[in-house]
Amino acid sequence: MTGHADNRLRIDSYDWRGGREAVLRFGPDHGPAVIVALPLLEEGNRTRSLAVSVLRLLTDRGIGGLLPDLPGTGESMTSTEEMRLANMQDAFAAAAATRPGVHGVAIRSGALIDRAATLAGRWHLSPQDGASLLREWRRIAGQGADAPSLAVAGNAVAPGLLEDLREAEPAKHNARTLRLANGAGRADGTLPGSPVWRHSEPRNDPVLAQAISDDIVRWILM
């Protein structure tokens, strides 16, 4: 596959039942491809550079990529206060449907978003369930479990999304789970690198990006 990659990066769009959203498309329009689900809220901003690096590395191996904005994220016209998990799941599924046979790649709470999509397989990095995400958000916000709403890193979180997350779980069917070397929880393997989602500012980790892309290539070609 090496040597035949199309490295074009295109800004495109896709339609879902709630409207139209933007999507970045990487590499060739045919053949194997992945679609990435970033974590919710600020972790999504902190991991976007990592995701783009991984997608660029995959194009060098002939694997295409999609990085969609979801309702309430990126350049979406939906505000953060209007974010609902079902809408993000439906939009992600619609974006995935534009590339039949696509493989899903999810980072952290992004693993809560790919449930409704038809995917050739799921690859999860340090997946997080809704209950643990809520505990983390409440700790960051300094609010108890009975708080009706939250503001996390300047993002207002609607009560509806808080309710959506209470029992949300990552899809486990046909899923490969990877964690960092010091990460806790069940995993099919570990990767070197730093938890970029923990940094105070968006940051890339070339070592982690290379390790992720290498594992994804092996996984897709298995």
- Give the integer Cα–Cα distance in Å for 78 and 15: 14
User: What is the reported pLDDT for 4?
Assistant: 44
Mean pLDDT of the chain: 91
Q: What is the mean pLDDT of residues 136-151?
A: 77
pLDDT level of residue 158 (50, 70, 90 thresholds):
confident
Q: Which helix (H) or strand (E) holds 139?
A: helix 130-141
The reported pLDDT for the residue numbered 7 is: 60
Reduced 3-state DSSP string for 25-78? EECCCCCCEEEEECCCCHHHHHHHHHHHHHHHHHHCCCCEEEEECCCCCCCCCC
Interval 132-156 mean pLDDT:
80
Question: What is the per-residue pLDDT for 145?
Answer: 66
Rounded average pLDDT over 208-215 = 98
Q: How high is the pLDDT of residue 3?
A: 41
pLDDT tens figures, 1-50:
344 444 679 999 999 999 999 999 999 989 999 999 999 988 999 999 99
Q: How many percent of the chain have pLDDT more than 90?
A: 70
Q: Is the pTM of this model over 0.75?
A: yes
pLDDT in tens, 55-77: 999 999 999 999 999 999 988 98
User: Rounded to the nearest 5 degrees, what angle is found at the Cα of 183, between the Cα atoms of 153 and 206?
Assistant: 75
Identity of the amino acid at 175: A
The average pLDDT across 149-176 equals 87
- Alpha-carbon distance of 197 to 199, in angstroms, equals 6
Of 1, 62, 70, which is closest to residue 26 (Cα–Cα)?
62
Q: Are 193 and 210 in contact (CB under 8 A)?
A: no
Residue ranges per structural domain of the chain: 9-129+171-221
Reduce the DSSP state of residue 220 to 3 states and report it: helix
The continuous run of DSSP H or E covering 105 comes out as strand 103-107
Please tell me the predicted confidence (pLDDT) of residue 2: 40
What was the pLDDT predicted at 148? 66
* Percent of the residues in the chain that have a pLDDT greater than 70, as a whole number: 94
Confidence at residue 147, expressed as pLDDT on a 0 to 100 scale: 67
What CATH code would you report for 9-129+171-221?
3.40.50.1820
pLDDT for the residue 6: 47
pLDDT of residue 119 exceeding 80, the answer is: yes
Looking at per-residue pLDDT, the higher value among 171 and 3 belongs to: 171
Q: In whole angstroms, how far apart are CA 112 and each of 19, 30, 49, 128, 196?
A: 21, 27, 20, 8, 19
